[in-house]
Amino acid sequence: MRIDLLTLFPEMCETVMAESIIGRARKKGAVQVCCHQIRDWALDKHSTVDDSPFGGGKGMLLKAEPIALCMDELIAHLGKKPHTVYLSPQGKTLTQRRVCELSELDGLVLLCGHYEGVDERVLEAYADEEISAGDYVVTGGELPALLLADAVCRMVPGVLSDAECYREESHFHSLLEYPQYTRPADWRGRQVPEILLSGDHGRVRRWRHEQSLARTASKRPELLTAAELTQEDREFLHSLSKTGGEETS
């Protein structure tokens, strides 16, 4: 998997993607992340990449040509046009399902807007989709792009030590993750659920699954509409609706 970020702040992106799990994955070649400074393709001596929008209004807009020149050079280098995402609050909200789909691609380009965004014509020419990190606005597309890049990279084989690291996480099966505990078993009078100390792996797995169901029903019930539920799951959720609470022990 190769991810190319087109940005005005490549140092910021590089700093984040060089750390922790993703940084180690890059070093061993499991993923490749390349950060491109859009200003390098500006056409004047001042490296101008923005201008005022036609029709008036406050703020500046990223010009089409520097982005297009960067994209054209990247496409020529790769021999094909990668799937291109523009990070925008107007896009579809990022989901784990979409992350999984994107992680199966060979390459991905993430275009980071700034100021008031980018010239619409460059999106028409190059962007395959727009993705939003949520229903809010930040100062640039870098943070949403880094969120997406991190989420996609960790799904690539070889990045995490085991696929189970993400298969049991929140949202992977449209369910929230079960509660987790570590030593000591008694912390300030709060006890770890006894079942986790039982050594019965079958009961632990079932408890964890039920906790995921309960947490999802309590915190994000809308996710259950996309979850693949067994009849046993449905009966468990029905029993929760009668008691009106989330089970934790």
Distance CA 150, CA 213 (A): 26
Identify the band that residue 167 occupies on the pLDDT scale cut at 50, 70 and 90. Answer: low
CA 180 and chain centroid, separation: 22
Residue 161: the pLDDT is: 76
Distances from the Cα of 60 to the Cαs of 65, 126, 131, 215, 220, in angstroms? 15, 21, 21, 44, 38
Query: Is the pLDDT assigned to residue 249 strictly greater than 70?
Result: no
Residue 173: the pLDDT is: 78
Q: Are 59 and 53 in contact (CB under 8 A)?
A: yes
Q: Which residue(s) pair with 80 in the sheet?
A: none
- Mean of all residue pLDDT scores within the chain: 93
Distance CA 58, CA 117 (A): 12
Percent of the chain whose pLDDT exceeds 70: 93
Identify the band that residue 242 occupies on the pLDDT scale cut at 50, 70 and 90. Answer: confident
CA atoms lying within 13 Å on the CB side of residue 185: 6
pLDDT digits 0-9 by tens, 122-141: 999 999 999 999 999 999 99
Instruction: Tell me the domains of the chain and their CATH numbers.
Output: 2-153 (3.40.1280.10), 168-243 (1.10.1270.20)
Distance CA 198, CA 121 (A): 61
The mean pLDDT of 168-189, rounded to a whole number, is 85
Distance CA 180, CA 233 (A): 21
Identify the band that residue 247 occupies on the pLDDT scale cut at 50, 70 and 90. Answer: low
Residue 243: the pLDDT is: 78
pLDDT digits 0-9 by tens, 61-104: 999 999 999 999 999 999 999 999 999 999 999 999 999 999 99
The mean pLDDT of 135-160, rounded to a whole number, is 96
Residue 210: the pLDDT is: 97
Residue 101: the pLDDT is: 97
Residue 169: the pLDDT is: 54
